[in-house]
Every structure is written in C-alpha cells, then in structure tokens.
Amino acid sequence: MMRRSSFALWAALALGSMVPGHPERALAQAAGVPMQGLDAARFLSLASSFNAMQTRASELVASRDTRPEARALATAMLEFRRTLGPKLDGLARERNLAPPTALEFEHQTILENLEPLDALELSRRYAEVEVQALPQELQLYRAAPASDESLRALANYMAPKIQQLLDDAGRTRQSLGP
C-alpha cells in the first residue's frame, strides 16, 4: 500500500505540473531529485530521460508552425541529442544495463503539456522548458559518479555543450517576449 506521504507527493507533482500554460513547473518540482551520490544506473536513467524528453520536444517544435528562433533552437538541440543518445546507450550496455524505455514521470508530463500547443505559444513554452531543463541536466552531469571514469569523461565533455544550449535557450526565450 502506498504511504499517505508518498501519495501526497505524487499528487502534488501531478497537479502542480498540469497547471495550464506552465509545463515547466514539472521540471521545477523534479529538482527535488537528489543529485548527490548517484550511481551509474540512476545517472544513466536520468540522463537518458532528459535526452529523450528534449529530443521529442524539439521534434515537436521542428514539425509544427513555430517561430524561427524556436525552430533554430530545436534544430541545434536535435543535433546535440542525436549525438548524445547513442553515447548514453553505449555506456548503459557497457554496464549491462538496459536503456530506459520510459521517461521519468515529470518528463512525460512536460511532453503531454506541450502536445496541444501551436505557433507562438508552443515556441514560448518550448523555450521555457529548455531554460528550466538544461540547468537541471547540467547539475546532473556535474554530479556524475566520480568513481566511474567513462561517465565522468562524458560529463566533462557534455557539460560545456549543455551550457551553450542553455545560453541559446535563454536568448531564444527572451526574443519571444512575455
């Protein structure tokens, strides 16, 4: 049986992330995931979920009638994500871990909230989601297990690229207005 406090936490996450027009709230609440002491399996699971969520969000923006700034960010994001995905899968296979098949709950909720949007609204929300997600992803990569040399090497290689995408997302969000 689910403990009352666990149920309350999941209910708060679900309800808080479903506020219309604020898909980024799910990410803000996901920030409570402890990044210290991550093992390789949890690191790869979270990194893969971030990667898959942002890939799908970028594909959505690239496939719809969106602002050129958002489309440019989505194109850059897709290029990065399509390079990162196979690296994460390879690291999982090296550790005899199955690549995750499902997104983290918060990431799935964000995608579901982006789906019905179009045009300027989708462009703005996508930029907001990236401005929220990328710092958390950067935090994840900075917390990569120090004892795992190949994960640490990946993290050190990817962190500057994620930072650049975060800077791009901030400029995109600013250019799209309120």
Residue matched to tokens 């406090």: 5
116: exposed, middle or buried (Cβ count in 10 Å: 0-12, 13-18, 19+): exposed
pLDDT of residue 165: 97
Domain limits of the chain? 38-175
Cβ atoms of residues 60 and 147 within 8 Å:
no
pLDDT of residue 24: 39
**Encoded tokens for 23:** 């898909």
pLDDT of residue 7: 34
Cβ atoms of residues 142 and 159 within 8 Å:
yes
pLDDT of residue 10: 35
Cβ atoms of residues 162 and 138 within 8 Å:
yes
Q: What is the mean pLDDT of each run of 10 residues along the chain (178 residues)?
A: 35 39 42 65 95 97 95 98 96 91 93 95 97 97 94 96 97 93
pLDDT of residue 178: 81
Q: What Cα–Cα distance (Å) separates residue 135 from each residue in 117, 140, 160?
A: 24, 9, 12
pLDDT of residue 99: 81
Distance CA 64, CA 51 (A): 20
pLDDT of residue 5: 32
CATH class of segment(s) 38-175? mainly alpha
Cβ atoms of residues 152 and 91 within 8 Å:
no
